[in-house]
Amino acid sequence: MPDDLNWAIGGEAGDGIDSTGKIFAQALSRAGRHVFTSKDFASRIRGGYTAYKIRSSTDRVESVVDRLDILVALTERTIDENLDELHDDSVIIYDGERTEMEDIEIPGEMTGLSVPLQRLAEEAGGAIMQNIVALGAACEVTNFPIENLDSALEKKFGSKGESIVSNNKEAARKGQEFVAEEFDHEFDYDLDTTDNDYVLLNGDQAIGMGAIAAGCRFYAGYPITPATDVMEYLTGRIEQFGGEVVQAEDELSAINMALGAARAGARSMTATSGPGIDLMTETFGLVATSETPLVIADVMRSGPSTGMPTKQEQGDLNMTLYGGHGEIPRFVLAPTNVAECFQKTVEAFNLAEKYQTPVFLLADLSMAVTEQTFEPETFDMDAVEIDRGKIVDDDEVEAWTDERDRFQPHFSTADGVSPRALPGTKNAAHMSTGLEHNSLGRRTEDTDVRIEQVDKRNRKVETAKEQEDWSPREFGDSDSDNLVISWGSNEGAMREALEFLDEEDIDVRFLSVPYIFPRPDLSDDIEAADEVIVVECNESGQFADVLEHDALTRVKRVNKYNGVRFKADELAEDIKEQLQSEEVTA
């Protein structure tokens, strides 16, 4: 009896799909089960198909697979949309009493459970609870103790009053009882519970949480899918820690506000997605030349232009790596899972202040909207260390002044990092500018000073390359001649793909890279392997390009750019195919 469950609820946008899915995810998590969620959504608020999918197991789950076991279909289209993932043992729960659903055909050998969701919900106090009836039915089908659902309902509706909570519990019971009484009990699912305590959150929330943990006090942003959740998370929370969220009039304003706050000494950030990153680009250079610590998150979605706003892609790597006129020293970090969104955000703030540079956090839609379970200690607040870099106080200013007692904010040090005086520091008033400048921050076109300052800024990157750990993470068989490399959120699917490949006796060494720049030097690893495959969610293979450039050799590529994240089983197939292919396709 499988303990690994793939469940989904789908319907029209506006049907409460998201909140229902979330309640079930929470119920599973509260029962000590691991959860990994994903969403199919369209860029419309009403109308248009949308689904919330949950994969759950007592073992850790890091990815989605091409399989759907139980589907709550609020519309007929929901079944069509998921036909590829449904299988003979799938169970479809739907409301056959609704006129639109009367003549529904359940495909193949699948089991259709017609449950009068609406009627039972009305009996429990209101049609609005039809989705909760469906959750009760799902509990029965999976042998999942409904008390866990009760606890999720309490969490969700507790603030709305006792009667709302009890009505919802009642609605769930009605769904459960209906299935128990009307259908022969021969479902193939049996969900275990454990004593584990998990927290359940998505990547955007983890970025926001990381920001607060790292002492970020100022956030300016402009709403854009799929980055808005960062702003929504921080709103109402950052204030409790003395901070502020400003919804700017556009992204140009957002990044400049964040820059202003950072100049004033606050740990400061902005987050956006592709189109917003485009608008911010001019300011990247200003951040870098004024040597302002700033964290800029790009939660990528499918581009170019407005592209597919609600779909996955890792297409902005080049943009964050190269975006902006002139040459801009910067760091680009790419968290590989939800927990890493937290950790890399903390790291980003430290890097930004230690090196006084822009730091990009390259996240993506899949990770941003995916909720994943973790042991709470994964977000270890005690482990958060804050390194503010070379901030000088009133007494230290003199050491950094020139012969005329003028503070030198861009003094060319051996490590490239200059003293930083926050406004208010005595006798250190100075100007920062996007113009090329001397050590005082004053405009210059002097050829030697130009070279000195450019070199100085780039030296920070060299220093960071030496002082920080930019290593990849390694999985699979370390002796294998087959090397797979990926970056960002593909790690989970790839890790699971290793298991599929292992079942077919294909050994693979897998390196997951959370740093785009600086990045680990993988030349030796690439040279040592017979086959090298780079996996990423874009068409051209942007990371493959930079690795080829680093290692001066060609690599194979697995690219996905249909807007959907890699699924573990499908990725395993793609890898297998590439391993067998003769050609390097680049």
Partner 1 sequence: MSSEVRFTDFKSDKQPTWCPGCGDFGTMNGMMKALANTGNDPDNTFVVAGIGCSGKIGTYMHSYALHGVHGRALPVGTGVKLANPDLEVMVAGGDGDGYSIGAGHFIHAVRRNVDMTYVVMDNRIYGLTKGQASPTSREDFETSTTPEGPKQPPVNPLALALSAGGSFIAQSFSTDAQRHTEIVQKAIEHDGFGFVNVFSPCVTFNDVDTYDYFRDSIVDLDDEDHDPTDRDAAKEKILDADKEYQGILYQNEESVPYSELHGLDSNMADIPDGAPEGAMDLVREFY
What residues numbered 223-262 form the site for partner 1, per CB under 8 A? 237, 239-244, 246, 248-250, 252-254, 256-262
Cα dist. 359→226, 268, 271, 281, 344 in Å?
A: 19, 11, 12, 13, 10
CA 248 to chain centre: 23
The Cα 158–Cα 432 span in angstroms is 51
Name the residue nearer to partner 1 (CB basis): 429 or 451. Answer: 429
CB of 280 to partner 1, least distance (A): 10
CB of 413 to partner 1, least distance (A): 21
Buried b (16+ CB within 10 A) or exposed e, 288-306: bbbbbbbbbbbbbbbbeee
Number of residues that bind partner 1 (CB under 8 A): 73
> Is residue 119 a contact point for partner 1 (CB under 8 A)?
no
Figure out which of the listed residues 213, 230, 319, 359 binds partner 1, where binding follows CB under 8 A.
213
Figure out which of the listed residues 68, 146, 212, 288 binds partner 1, where binding follows CB under 8 A.
212
Cis peptide before 335 (omega within 30 of 0): no
Name the residue nearer to partner 1 (CB basis): 144 or 233. Answer: 233
Name the residue nearer to partner 1 (CB basis): 279 or 579. Answer: 279
Token digits of residue 16: 């409460």
CB of 263 to partner 1, least distance (A): 6
CB of 349 to partner 1, least distance (A): 10
> Is residue 465 a contact point for partner 1 (CB under 8 A)?
no
Considering only residues 494 to 533 of the shown chain, the ones binding partner 1 according to CB under 8 A are none
What one-character-per-residue DSSP string does 80-109 give?
HHTTTTEEEEEEEEE-TTSGGGTT----TT
The Cα 219–Cα 295 span in angstroms is 10
The Cα 404–Cα 276 span in angstroms is 43
Name the residue nearer to partner 1 (CB basis): 442 or 450. Answer: 442
Residues in a beta bridge with 267:
216
Name the residue nearer to partner 1 (CB basis): 240 or 305. Answer: 240
> Is residue 217 a contact point for partner 1 (CB under 8 A)?
yes
CB of 212 to partner 1, least distance (A): 6
The Cα 387–Cα 455 span in angstroms is 24
> Is residue 197 a contact point for partner 1 (CB under 8 A)?
yes
> Is residue 61 a contact point for partner 1 (CB under 8 A)?
no
Count how many residues are written for the chain: 586
The Cα 202–Cα 36 span in angstroms is 10
CB of 584 to partner 1, least distance (A): 42
CB of 214 to partner 1, least distance (A): 8
Q: Are 92 and 79 in contact (CB under 8 A)?
A: yes
Say which DSSP state 297 is in.
E
Token digits of residue 107: 């495909």
> Is residue 430 a contact point for partner 1 (CB under 8 A)?
yes
Name the residue nearer to partner 1 (CB basis): 43 or 151. Answer: 151
Q: What is the dihedral of CA 279, 282, 284, 288, to 10 degrees?
A: -170
The end-to-end CA distance of the chain, in Å, is 44
Kindly indicate which of the ranges 6-14, 101-109, 217-225, 548-556 contains the residues binding partner 1, using the contact rule CB under 8 A. 217-225
> Is residue 424 a contact point for partner 1 (CB under 8 A)?
yes
Q: What is the dihedral of CA 280, 282, 288, 289, to 10 degrees?
A: -150
Figure out which of the listed residues 428, 497, 534, 558 binds partner 1, where binding follows CB under 8 A.
428
> Of 89, 36, 67, 83, whose CA–CA distance to 569 is shortest?
67
Considering only residues 386 to 415 of the shown chain, the ones binding partner 1 according to CB under 8 A are 386, 388, 404, 406
416: helix, coil or strand? coil
Figure out which of the listed residues 13, 101, 127, 435 binds partner 1, where binding follows CB under 8 A.
435
> Is residue 344 a contact point for partner 1 (CB under 8 A)?
no
Q: Are 236 and 372 in contact (CB under 8 A)?
A: no
Considering only residues 261 to 320 of the shown chain, the ones binding partner 1 according to CB under 8 A are 261-268, 282-283, 286, 290
Q: Which helix (H) or strand (E) holds 139?
A: helix 130-142
Cα dist. 115→15, 37, 130, 134, 172 in Å?
A: 17, 25, 10, 8, 12
Token digits of residue 297: 């998150």
Radius of gyration of the chain (CA): 26
Kindly indicate which of the ranges 99-107, 156-164, 197-205, 303-311 contains the residues binding partner 1, using the contact rule CB under 8 A. 197-205
Binding mask 347-386 for partner 1 (x = CB under 8 A): -----------------------------x--x-xx-xxx
Name the residue nearer to partner 1 (CB basis): 357 or 425. Answer: 425
Kindly indicate which of the ranges 295-303, 433-441, 490-498, 564-572 contains the residues binding partner 1, using the contact rule CB under 8 A. 433-441
Name the residue nearer to partner 1 (CB basis): 128 or 422. Answer: 422
> Is residue 100 a contact point for partner 1 (CB under 8 A)?
no
Kindly indicate which of the ranges 51-59, 308-316, 423-431, 483-491 contains the residues binding partner 1, using the contact rule CB under 8 A. 423-431
> Is residue 425 a contact point for partner 1 (CB under 8 A)?
yes
